[in-house]
A and B are shown apart, each in its own frame.
Chain A
């Protein structure tokens, strides 16, 4: 089953199957101490840069900053939801710790 993943409106949204699912301005808790030195960066999302799927996991690359220390930048790929029978299932991104996968193209 093909799934349509897009970044919309100048990076305001992740669109999954033509529905706007993930918005900028959310606060995410990242498991990525290498991003800024904070053990679990408290990360505000300012812009969505890219979206992709790895198996059933939908991940996004986003620009933002840690509101604890102020470091700004792009962490690796951050999971934002799951695909279940082609449907997007949200995860409570503001309350769970999100693992960050760093790829070859990350800094």
Chain B
């Protein structure tokens, strides 16, 4: 039997949602009939709007899709202006204030506390510079990710940016692909370092070379069915197909159509293409694709470049593990990758980012899958002055490894699924670790990813240390806790972290990391990386090396932050919530 979501989608979905959205915006949030709210909130996701959690009714998270993470000149300024004017909530975050921009692990942008009534103005401002929220959420082609310095990078095998943009143009608002069984995450990269992270996407196009008609042809191999969510992580599987850049859109569309026709619409937990791949296997998948969805004979896979992959790999093979720092582009200019701790940047700093990018570079800003930003096209003679900018004091191109390696999802601050507070906690962790823990000599890349639940938005399974939200009891009282996993990473032979220690109270996690790193240093062989150390150590031994303990670190958010209307409010009880509110923020009462 089709699910409620499928029924709602069959009634209204895709582009047509917009006119309803704008009508509700005109009339006010409280005019959405109560018995239709579930359906409309589900549909609004397709236009990038996600109703915030309990206690925050009538407020939305807005996601803006920036294909391949590229913000063209002028766009960053508008994002900052929109955040400044419309993304301020009824309470302040103690670390980030009120009004901020989240750069996400899928190279997108998220704003919070958005009011439905402001949507028409916001859309107008965003669209005036070519930005869009279309398909940023919902069951369709999500924001396309890739190497964030595509077209600029010296390490490029093939420039995938025009293909990423072609895919975006072809499949955004395309009625044939707007209603898929589930979300559809696509990665395309031509870079030699693996920074498209194709292995954890539904559809991955990775750089390859194939001899066709006697000629060495550059293009992409295709992998299908990666993803991290729901305790069911999968690496994308090689389906033995090579496409040229010219064929990429057609074959990608064929694969999307295969998913549309064969994905499970009866069970959303079984709907992602990774489960279809489980059922079919790569060989059958290729056969069905060839026989039913593609009109020409598919080439077999070409020679890939996976042995060179370094991004987020946990291996020190000489390549980049991220895009932080100052790097020369192919054209002789430089790109400057700035570290944004947990991906959150205040509106004033975002305005500064736009100004600095314009003054020293081309005005373009790019977003990475490690929640960081890049200023591109900086001439060598401007590098010194750029580094003197105050913005770079806070968003450094040369940060401490604990700052550089930290990623966190949204968490219980706004998210319905999360079990624990995340972004602020990861900031506290990183600051404490920086002050109190020495990394073993030569370790410059050390990734700690904190995800509030098994949805894995912070990509915890591919970090050196993976942290995942959980609960436990401490002194008999329920407290927020984290599972600790070790040794995940991508690269030539990706693997997911082993969850070696479960349910560690959140105030004992920094001590656990400190002890673990001391144990790593004591047992380290030569210059091996942490991932290499984990790979050669038994799981039981690893668990003994974690040793959680209380330290000088204090956690102010041990309680059930999900039971608050906003964890940082002075009175955080659900009864104190002002929501739902009118457009001006005044509470909607039963008298309204």
Binding site for B on A (CB under 8 A): 4, 6, 8-13, 15, 17-20, 23-27, 42, 44, 46-47, 49, 63, 65, 67, 70, 72, 94
Contact = CB atoms under 8 A, between A and B. Distances in A.
A8 B38 contact: yes
Interface residues of B, number: 34
A89 B467 CA distance: 35
A63 B455 CA distance: 13
B35 A44 contact: no
Interface string B39-55: 00110000000000110
B484 to A, nearest CB: 13
A4 B35 CA distance: 9
Contacts of A70: 502-503
A9 B503 contact: no
Interface string B553-577: 0000000101000000000000000
Given A24-B453, A44-B419, A67-B503, A49 B38 contact: no
A25 to B, nearest CB: 4
B36 to A, nearest CB: 8
A98 to B, nearest CB: 15
Nearest to B3: A7
Contact of B412 (A25, A65, A94): A25
Chain A interface main SS type: strand
A103 B225 CA distance: 33
Nearest to B268: A10
Contact of B416 (A4, A13, A19, A67): A13
B230 A47 contact: yes
B418 interface: yes
A17 B54 contact: no
10 contacts: A11-B417, A23-B54, A24-B416, A25-B420, A25-B469, A26-B562, A44-B470, A46-B419, A47-B454, A67-B472
Contacts of A13: 54, 416
A18 B34 CA distance: 6
Interface string B245-283: 000000000000000000000001100000000000000
A27 B478 contact: yes
Interface string B464-491: 0000011111000010010000000000
A9 B419 contact: no
